Amino acid sequence: MNAKNTVIIDHKEVELNGEKNILELTRKLGIDIPTFCYHSELSLYGACRMCVVEVEGRGIVASCSTPPTPGMKILTNSPRVQRVRKTVLELLLANHDRECTTCEKNGNCKLQELANRFGIKRIRFGERDVKLPIDDSGTSIVRDPNKCILCGDCVRMCAEVQGIGILDFSNRGAKVVVTPAFNKNFSEVECVNCGQCSAVCPTGALVVKSETEKAWAAIHDPEKFVVAQVAPAVRVALGEEFGLPAGEIVTGKVVAALKRLGFDKVFDTCIGADLTIMEETTEFIERLQKGEKLPQFTSCCPAWIKYAEHNEPELLKNLSSCRSPQQMFGSLVKKYWAKELGKDPKDIYVISIMPCTAKKFEAARPEFTTEGAPDVDLVLTTQELARMIRETGLLFDQLDIESFDTPFGFTTGAGVIFGATGGVSEAVLRAAHELVTGEAVEEVNFEAVRGFAGLKEATVEINGTKIKVAVVHGLGNAKKLLQDLKAGKADYQIIEVMACPGGCIGGAGQPISTDPEVKKERARGIYNADKLSQLRKSQDNPIVAKFYEKWLQKPNSHEAHEALHTNYSPRGRILGEDIQLLSSRRKHKVDVAVCVGTCCYLKGSYDTLKRFMEKAEEEGIKHRLNLHATFCLEGCETGPSVRINGEVVSGVTPDKADQVFAEIVEKLPENHRD
């Protein structure tokens, strides 16, 4: 047997073919070994122990982290394996808030599913007796630590795929929790609201913040004229909630459902995407001609924008100033269309149906308002819309299809492909050549920017100028690309960034699935919808042309900038907290605060702080200082920043620490220097 490249699984001989672990091998055989902490996109962890199998001579092992070797004899469902799995489930349930009927994940919870699958009817280990506070402070995600099973999926997703790392394990033993730094709320740290943590959470510990009650209140308010806009990625995913295949285009049924729910008008966000292409492409051409603010980064993804505000303030000038399609749509409705209807902007209630949790944060940004009213009043995810449809009792798969309303319902295929990674770049490429040369592009498919590679590149020539395009999805991939740009290892003119793996089709507000094939099917549906479109280039949209004629004059005009563009500012990493290092109660002292927020930290502020402490010790004046670390002095672009008696000094890199410390000493009263 040892001479053969085979193993024995449940008494059957199986040939090995490069499988990395026993779990991967058994799944190929059609054996569904249960897991909590295993995801193909994440590193191996092996913490939950649900995937255990019995290996002859080795006993119980975790199948996700054990590679198969020739000659192994494996049992996937022995009495010992069954006992271990049931005990693990009982222990998890004993420490779990079991209010299942009121949980957002009820019916879609892995713990609930496995407890039912393994027939857990009685728990021998008591129940949770300590209730930890729930964090619902943010706009997008609710964190309930009482439902956390410590699988670590959210920790690894945030750190490995998104490259942010705002979540980690804290404390020891029975007190271990998953939490942001210093036990802060999500709203107080550099969370970008992408929600990918909730997409991999197997329980109700991390869920999308539900706002369906607000939607119902608006629909039932006779004073409100309620309109919906539907993002392109929704049309290839909503059907999954009702048993339809992933990627099936259900646009007509989505429109019909929304009208049955009580919406006065139902529009397509793709009209905003077409406008985005006209504005963003024109903006890019102007930058290219002037040779400034390049590369130009896309600005459609609010999670990417917030990431840049926190971590890359020096690149904010490179972001396209265009609002996202969602916000362009809301702005036009409130600023122009409301007047045509003779309505006050406050009386039109715009609800976005989005695949994205970060859109909730974006809609709440104070810069996106008209006469004091938000341009977008409320954002519902695909999950939330499905909940409303079920609540109403509509049989989604049996609905007759209906069409979008005018004037915001006529769109092009270029707007539809925004839903997949690479779609924005492809739509720009469909427009750029024609806007520069006046010659129509016949071939509109740009295959090089399609697909699920972490980085995709394309080079196109327009009027003798070569333009290099990069496409990244997942903020971890974006982070790597930015490092290469800074190191001079990469050179592009246009860079598309989408925070979620796969783009909007993989948004955290979509129906939950950990199968990577589901995203591929959704992407295929997006491109099929593009093929079915009568018009496939944004510049061919006659309704967009009318908008410019009536309201906006031309792309990048003053009117267009007022309605369709914005600007962004640096953000602090963590708000309002100090860490005291050297403290003095004496009257005559100097207060020194060193920012250790992300931007300043990356520029060496920790070493500056360390040098200050060394100098204070060397010069014997540590008792004369209030030296402390703080988390944001808002000088991100010119950091590291230091505040001395209320005055902020910028650019205090470690090599300048001694010079600045000498200035601190000068501020001490003469008779108090030791």
Instruction: Count CB atoms within 10 A of the CB of residue 586.
Output: 9
Closest residue by Cα to residue 281 from 263, 269, 299, 267: 299
From CA 620, how far away is CA 629, in angstroms rounded?
20
C-alpha distances in Å from residue 39, one per residue of 43, 322, 339, 515: 8, 36, 50, 9
For β-strands 378-381 and 455-462, DSSP reports them as unpaired
Cα Dmax for the chain: 88
The DSSP letter of residue 12 is E
292, burial (CB in 10 Å: exposed 0-12, middle 13-18, buried 19+)? exposed
Strands (DSSP E) contained in 455-542 are 455-462, 465-473, 494-498
| Main-chain dihedrals φ then ψ at residue 349, nearest 5 degrees | -110, 110
* CB of 246 closer than 8 Å to CB of 522: yes
Helices H / strands E in the chain, number of each: 22, 24
305 to 418, 465, 597: CA distances (angstroms) = 16, 29, 18
Phi, psi of 564 (to 5 degrees): -120, 0
For 332-464, where are the E strands, in sequence order? 348-354, 369-370, 373-374, 378-381, 455-462
Pairing of strands 494-498, 296-297: parallel
Query: 240, 283, 309, 426: which one is catalytic?
Result: 283
Q: Are 21 and 66 in contact (CB under 8 A)?
A: yes
Residue 367 catalytic? yes
Q: CA–CA separation, 500 vs 345, rounded Å? A: 32
C-alpha separations of 222 from 217, 262, 263, 388 in Å: 10, 11, 12, 19
79 vs 95: CA distance, rounded Å:
25
Residue 447: in which H helix or E strand, if any? none
The catalytically annotated residue of 15, 367, 617, 663 is: 367
The single-letter DSSP state of residue 66 is -
Asked about 362 being catalytic, the answer comes back as yes
Report the alpha-carbon angle 576-314-456, nearest 5. Answer: 115
Under DSSP, the state recorded for 640 is S
Given 147, 209, 293, 359, the catalytic residue:
359
Amino acid occupying residue 467: I
Burial class (CB in 10 A: 0-12, 13-18, 19+), 62: buried
Whether residue 271 contacts residue 329, with contact meaning beta carbons closer than 8 Å, is answered with yes
- Contact (CB, 8 A) for 9 and 29: yes
Catalytic residue among 54, 241, 280, 384: 280
Question: What tokens were used for 416?
Answer: 């539809």
Active site residue 15: no
Residues 37, 103, 194, 504: which is the catalytic one? Answer: 504
Q: Which one is catalytic: 240, 248, 362, 426?
A: 362
**Radius of gyration of the chain from Cα atoms?**
28
Q: Identify whether the C-beta of residue 633 lies closer than 8 Å to the C-beta of residue 225.
A: no
Q: Is 223 a catalytic residue?
A: no
The three-state secondary structure class of 130 is coil
Do 355 and 597 contact (CB within 8 A), yes or no? no
CA distances in angstroms from 52 to 46, 86, 197, 236, listed in the order given: 9, 11, 25, 36
Among the residues of 364-422, which ranges form H helices? 382-392, 413-416
Contact (CB, 8 A) for 641 and 652: yes
**Beta strand 455-462 pairing with 642-644:** unpaired
Active site residues: 280, 283, 300, 320, 359, 362, 367, 504
